[in-house]
Structure 1
């Protein structure tokens, strides 16, 4: 049985007229009549009763009609599904977010893509830069919002989608907490609560360069793997720390005061990274969406 036979049968069954059915199908009427006869021979039953007044469905034809419509609808849906996957309008897209990603930028890009392409299953996870670069190369994720590539080989591409201010986290009883804005000299020489450099070496260096000046490295008095734990250590008086403004807005730790910097304000980028040879059509569609909603690329 061929799908075209079902299409011919449904057209004639709905029109009950070979001429109108042929016009609807854009085929010649004699050819359509021959195809229906061939279909009936294949099934071994008559589907239409022919008389001088026209065409009528037989009992077998009446029984076949709803099933034929269902098969054709499923076939059309399968074709559209395949075309949708090829165009990136359907399928699955795995995205990782750095834990410090600003929700206003990243959430907008992900949410608006979901709204524009609801047939794409967008799966979101989180991680730190070094691990996400590995996952991009392993293809366990398709894209990653991170700060800066630590291993920027040619196999990975990136696009800067925004810049975010860095703020200071200080013990609420510290004299720095009484200042409205901090300057670089205010934090110089203070013990630092910081995160392991191996989680993102380039970002580790960039953030300290922005705050203290290029190449200046303060004493790291205490290390914690995540920003929330860093701020708890600040509250305990182990030192001061620095986080992005967006991350600070999500963390409310008693005993910690968040203070902004005076101009020039230290900033860090938020970057979208992906594997250049990833063939996932949904990724290409997402990249086009991001490009349309962000400023021209400025690589960190």
Structure 2
């Protein structure tokens, strides 16, 4: 369907676009509903509608088809959506760059990683080595955040983070990635559980009681676990649980779970870690292919160094990554 042109006498060529218009447009595009989009942005629906209309007038096109059940993007709306996301991402990056500047020219390197992370694990060891190699007043600060797996790619592309430690792999030409370590996956039970002293269990053992697992936050790990269950002809029915709550709830006897073995390093004696037969995951570092900043280069080097040190010191937990099958190309 041809889009409706909305040129008016007041429209100016190459008009400056108010970021509020772009945020309103993207919120409606995501929610497909003006009311929900207004709630998402914490503004009134009349203001939201006005921002969208102002953007449509400035661009001279119709961005949405209104329907009784909500709205749909027009063809041109779908075309400009990634451009709008890119404009706001660059704006955020500009602000972040300015705000992290100090008189000593210090900046902030933002890293996303699965949290909680054990003391002495890959994240802490990489940061320790990064800081040790970059002493002095101009050493970048490191901010560590946790992201839902499905947000990692977008956060990198939008420059909200500079690097990601992930159980996934880069699946886009814009990103570079390097596998660092491989580690077994353990089932975890309360220490008093009947399987606590078992030398090894299969994934089928996780189907016998509530499986507390952060499916949304750790989609990469859940896919690994689900595929293993399907291969064993077992069906898992997870109870969505925050990553930060899993260990405490399992220790209280409220269910079981599956975690990377390195979490043994900071777990309580109320938990029992039992190897899951034939199941392991690999941790990679991913960054933007075009990012040549010294800080990102140094952090990737620190990750490599940390991985070598950990595989040498604790081979019971970490090992060097095995080559992937030629067909394995899941995205991060």
TM-score range, shorter chain: 0.5 to 0.7
5+ residue gaps, structure 2 = 1-104, 309-319
- Answer yes or no: is 1:104 the counterpart of 2:125: no
Alignment partner for residue 260 of structure 1, among 249, 274, 277? 274
Cα distance in 1 between the residues matched to 2:232 and 2:295: 41
TM-score normalised to structure 2 length:
0.52
Runs ≥4 in structure 1, deviation > 3 angstroms? 89-92, 100-103, 207-210, 212-219, 235-238, 288-300
Q: How does 1:82-121 map to 2 (within 5 A)?
A: 91-99=107-115, 101=117, 103-118=120-135, 119-121=138-140
Conserved? CA contact 2:175–2:289, under 8 Å: yes
SS of residue paired to 1:182:
coil
TM alignment of 1:61-80, pairs within 5 A: none
CA distance in 2: counterparts of 1:120 and 1:148, whole angstroms: 29
**Residue in structure 2 matched with residue 199 of structure 1 by the alignment:** 217
Aligned to 1:141, what secondary structure does the other structure show?
A: coil
Query: Quick check: 1:209–1:216 contact (8 Å CA) kept in 2?
Result: no
SS at match of 1:199: coil
C-alpha distance in 2 between matches for 1:105 and 1:116: 16
Give the TM-score, by structure 1 length: 0.57
How much does 1:274 deviate?
0.9
**Alignment-derived partner of residue 296 in structure 2:** 283
Write 1 or 2 for the structure with the bigger share of helix: 1
**Residue in 2 that maps onto 1:242:** 258
Equivalent residue number for residue 44 of structure 2: none
Distance change (3 Å), C-alpha of 1:285 and 1:236: closer
What is the CA deviation profile of residues 145-178 of structure 1, one whole-angstrom value per residue up to 9, with x for unaligned ones? Answer: 12114x7222222211111222222133321123
Q: Cα distance, 1:101 vs. partner? A: 4.3
Q: d(CA) in 2 for partners of 1:130 and 1:107?
A: 23
SS in 1 for 2:263: helix
Q: What's the RMSD between the two structures over aligned residues?
A: 3.2
Shift of 1:90: 7.3
The equivalent position to 2:152 in structure 1, one of 132, 138, 147, is 132
Structure 1: unaligned runs, 5 residues or longer: 1-88
Deviation (angstroms), 1:186 = 6.5
Alignment length (residue pairs): 205
Task: Identify if the C-alpha distance between structure 1 residues 269 and 192 changes in structure 2 by more than 3 Å, giving closer, same or farther.
Answer: farther
Q: Is the 8 A contact 1:101 1:146 kept in 2?
A: no
